[in-house]
A = this chain, B = another copy of it.
Amino acid sequence: MAIQRDKKFLEKGHVGVMIEWLASFGKTENGGVTRLLYSPSWLDAQLALKSKMDQSKLDTYFDSVGNLFGRLPGSESNGKTILTGSHIDTVVDGGKYDGAYGIIASFIAVLRLFQTYGLPKKTIEVVSLCEEEGSRFPLAFWGSRNISGAYNLDRVKKVNDSEGIPFLEAMKQAGFDPEKYTPPVRDVERFVEIHIEQGMILEKNKNQIGIVTHIVGQRRYSVQIKGESNHAGTTPMQYRKDAVSTAAHFISFLTEKAQVVDPQLVATVGRLNVKPNVPNVVAGEVEFSLDIRHHEDTVMDHYCDVIFAEFKRFAENLNMEVTISQWMDVKPVKMDGEMCTWAREIAEAKNYRYQEMISGAGHDAQVFGAVSATSLLFVPSQNGISHSPKEFTSLEELETGIELLTELLYKLAY
């Protein structure tokens, strides 16, 4: 096999050129990127990537749902693949790095390996996953879940986007005819993803690399408080069944307890709606969302026991109703211990400032992590910002991530 040798992939600044190039597909007025699954900008980006992989003489192909693969065949291939990459889709007006960096880093790393060491023993494939965010359709991880076998076409038959366009119709229009769907018969031995952190831990700790040991589980609840709507002037404080002040107590309590129960636990009330929501009326009803994340189910169990008991005690005391309903339960996923060790050894050998850490965000790595040995690596996000045109990681940090990824892939495939 004749891989084209292209010196620019060895240049340190090249990742920046590639980031800007990929961000030109779906560029927004704010300098952000919008590439929603199966949209024209999404298709342009996948086809442009395919063309670039073709130029580099990787064996390229799409699967039935639009995941793009660029294959570097192994000399001792046993049919198993080392898969590396991330997702091509973005949120609306998102940044240039989320997902895109992982694809580009993998592409550069694989080409560098070949240009330096020739063909690997084990087959490596760069993957540009078709969808992770769930920004167009209410369905996250479509790309990785299709590969891992967790989802198939049955799962999307009744799914529409916000304009009412059926999932299967959008898929067909992008050139992926559901009639021709074949389930993936993949044998992924290992998956490696590199991603921006989307948090500020690496930056605060002045570290260059995060080696993820776990991806958190996520539980989401809706908490509904029913009190009594009353006149704000004529109802003394002690006679009130005020849903707002009750919600305030719950939120103060859960915020404080999150920090006491475990420093790595996060609990967020991001949405809160009041009825009737009028200045001079004591509110009769509040509904708020509660997002809880930790890498151990037992910690979340304990935390939920503590706070829900307090919610009930407090509400009963005031003769108010509280209803807690769970609408999401994603289990924590552990990354492969051996791969964490190898990544740590590389980072130490190269004198990188690194740390082991937990991923508080969901990633394709958690889908692969449930079925095969998986590694997730982070580079810093400036000010922790992501899902925004302000997303930024310096060229030097991007380059350090690629170097680590290259070494790890060498360890896995050569």
**Taking the complex as formed, is A230 at the interface, i.e. its CB lies under 8 A from any CB of chain B?**
yes
Q: How many copies altogether?
A: 2
| Cβ-defined partner of A360 (8 Å) among B231, B268, B274 | B231
Contact at A235–B279, with CB atoms within 8 Å? no
Enumerate chain B residues within 8 angstroms of A235, measured Cβ to Cβ.
Answer: 199-200, 266, 360, 384
Enumerate chain B residues within 8 angstroms of A199, measured Cβ to Cβ.
Answer: 231, 233-236
Q: Give residues 218-260 of A contacting B (CB, 8 Å).
A: 218, 220, 230-239, 242, 244-245, 247-252, 255, 258-259
Contact at A279–B291, with CB atoms within 8 Å? yes
| Cβ-defined partner of A278 (8 Å) among B271, B277, B281 | B271
Contact at B279–A270, with CB atoms within 8 Å? yes
Contact at A232–B268, with CB atoms within 8 Å? yes
Contact at B272–A233, with CB atoms within 8 Å? no
Q: Give residues 273-295 of A contacting B (CB, 8 Å).
A: 273-274, 276-283, 289, 291, 293
**Taking the complex as formed, is A121 at the interface, i.e. its CB lies under 8 A from any CB of chain B?**
no
In the complex formed, the residue of B with least CB distance to A362 is B233
What is the minimal beta-carbon distance from A326 to any residue of chain B, in angstroms?
12
Contact at B231–A245, with CB atoms within 8 Å? no
**Taking the complex as formed, is A361 at the interface, i.e. its CB lies under 8 A from any CB of chain B?**
yes
Enumerate chain B residues within 8 angstroms of A230, measured Cβ to Cβ.
Answer: 384
In the complex formed, the residue of B with least CB distance to A262 is B237
**Taking the complex as formed, is A382 at the interface, i.e. its CB lies under 8 A from any CB of chain B?**
no
**Taking the complex as formed, is A367 at the interface, i.e. its CB lies under 8 A from any CB of chain B?**
no
Contact at B244–A269, with CB atoms within 8 Å? yes
**Taking the complex as formed, is A204 at the interface, i.e. its CB lies under 8 A from any CB of chain B?**
yes
With contacts A231-B360, A244-B251, A384-B239 known, is A270 near B258, CB below 8 A?
Answer: no
**Taking the complex as formed, is A201 at the interface, i.e. its CB lies under 8 A from any CB of chain B?**
yes
Contact at B239–A259, with CB atoms within 8 Å? no
Contact at A233–B361, with CB atoms within 8 Å? yes
**Taking the complex as formed, is A197 at the interface, i.e. its CB lies under 8 A from any CB of chain B?**
yes
Contact at A266–B361, with CB atoms within 8 Å? no
With contacts A231-B360, A236-B201 known, is A274 near B272, CB below 8 A?
Answer: yes
What is the minimal beta-carbon distance from A190 to any residue of chain B, in angstroms?
24
Contact at A198–B384, with CB atoms within 8 Å? no
Interface string of A383-406 (1 = CB under 8 A from B): 010110000000000000000000
With contacts A237-B255, A237-B258, A255-B242 known, is A232 near B280, CB below 8 A?
Answer: no
**Taking the complex as formed, is A263 at the interface, i.e. its CB lies under 8 A from any CB of chain B?**
yes
Q: Give residues 345-368 of A contacting B (CB, 8 Å).
A: 359-362
**Taking the complex as formed, is A216 at the interface, i.e. its CB lies under 8 A from any CB of chain B?**
yes
What is the minimal beta-carbon distance from A98 to any residue of chain B, in angstroms?
11
| Cβ-defined partner of A237 (8 Å) among B266, B274, B280, B362 | B266
Listed from nearest, the 3 A-B pairs whose CB atoms lie closest are: A199-B234, A233-B360, A248-B251
Residues of A within 8 A of B (CB): 197-201, 204, 216, 218, 220, 230-239, 242, 244-245, 247-252, 255, 258-259, 263-274, 276-283, 289, 291, 293, 359-362, 384, 386-387
Known: A234-B384, A279-B291. 17 other contacts (CB 8 A): A198-B234, A199-B231, A200-B234, A200-B235, A218-B233, A231-B386, A232-B270, A232-B291, A236-B266, A237-B255, A237-B263, A244-B251, A248-B248, A248-B252, A271-B274, A272-B277, A279-B289
